[in-house]
Chains A and B, each alone.
Chain A
């Protein structure tokens, strides 16, 4: 088998990369180890309204709910409300991720990409240390897929990246370990995405409650792996649900676990090789949200690959246009938010309560790190010492825009 591009993994990043590469005329194959695209749904299923202008999805079958905003609860229950204008960047829609992923796959196939399910990559094909494609296995059949460019879109545990010589092993302080239910018979009338913070609620992470219609909600937990104990994520989530009046009568129609990288991004290009999505650590380290990065990064990757195929230049130098562009588009924000994550991990519940108390009546003109830090420092000048590095990065980021 010979293709221009083989994409390992049919998640959002892989499908969008495949679509834009195929639209540029490349011959693309996507391989997926599971038997169905988009299943199981390993996600909180929230996404920004930014995607409205991106032409990624058609129709509205993938939308479970349109959110009015987000509410963040500090450990003592103080609520900070963010209206949709402010929070829309992070929480605009709650989606059906299975349909969402299948729509992205459909667009890729429509653009000319081929999709092969039940097919697992078992290694890279190399000749004289040059990547020539992937070794694959489908049921008991093993075969070689030759391609000029291999795209690693194989998620948080990326093996393809490791095979290509990129260190993708995560430290446990850079991983959120997650468990989630889709609960039915719950009472979530408000169209708000709710987040609950606190070391007894979710150490180093948060619990989310995202409504999917009136009586269904995606309720999940992410805790920092380095603060985890065996089975802790599920235990804390069950405890939270049992004590929440909206949720305690709910019954799960889905239970899943997942893992989310909250790390600094890794290198993403090699000769004949590109890494996208979770495997490239393109996830916001504060929220653990990665969908917008996947879509934005996938589009950039697909377009760069398309050009590379036209020019028949698959070198690291040619492909590094992708790295430059995604870093410009959202990489700087990820880097900054990684610092915020590190600072937040040092804060105790008392500090979170104090912050929430300062912010609860604050009218945000814009939800940027800079405006947030400014608001906080006005009230608590002593915080300045802690937040200083952040302020510096934030200003730099602003200058780049």
Chain B
């Protein structure tokens, strides 16, 4: 089964950039004052999902 890619809920994202700084594939970037995922690069490792302080990221089983 293919794990779902990380998805950021823009309404909840506070643009703290934690996810950007831990993404091992450089798949998250700053876009219009929020974090945004490039699904082509995302490997569903879920690091960003776990570390989001406000729980704005879903994916990879979470």
Contacts and interface: CB of A to CB of B under 8 A. Distances in A.
B55 A234 contact: yes
B21 A169 contact: yes
B54 A169 contact: no
A169 B22 contact: yes
A220 to B, nearest CB: 10
B53 interface: yes
Given A120-B30, A169-B23, A231 B54 contact: yes
A42 interface: yes
A259 interface: yes
Interface string A122-165: 00000000000000000000000000000000011111001000
Interface string A23-36: 00000000001100
A120 B33 CA distance: 11
Contacts of B26: 162, 169
Contacts of B54: 179, 231, 233-234, 257
B16 to A, nearest CB: 4
Contact of B21 (A33, A175, A228, A234): A175
A231 B58 CA distance: 11
B62 A230 contact: yes
A172 B51 contact: yes
Nearest to A175: B22
Interface string B32-62: 0100000000000001011111111110001
A179 B18 contact: no
Given A120-B30, A257-B18, A172 B47 contact: yes
Interface string B5-34: 000000000111110111110100110010
Given A178-B16, A258-B16, A156 B21 contact: yes
A157 to B, nearest CB: 4
A231 B52 contact: yes
Given A33-B30, A231-B55, A233-B54, A157 B17 contact: yes
A225 B20 contact: no
B50 A156 contact: no
B14 A257 contact: yes
B53 A234 contact: yes
Nearest to A168: B21
A74 B37 CA distance: 39
A261 B50 contact: no
Name the residue in A34, A158, A169, A223 with the highest tally of chain B Cβ atoms < 10 Å from its Cβ.
A169
Interface of A: 33-34, 40, 42, 120, 155-159, 162, 168-172, 175, 177-179, 223, 225, 228-234, 255-259, 261
9 contacts: A156-B17, A156-B18, A162-B26, A168-B21, A172-B50, A172-B51, A225-B47, A233-B53, A234-B54
Given A230-B57, A233-B54, 20 more contacts: A33-B30, A158-B21, A172-B50, A175-B18, A177-B51, A179-B54, A225-B51, A228-B53, A230-B55, A230-B62, A232-B53, A232-B55, A234-B55, A256-B16, A257-B14, A257-B18, A258-B53, A259-B17, A259-B21, A259-B53
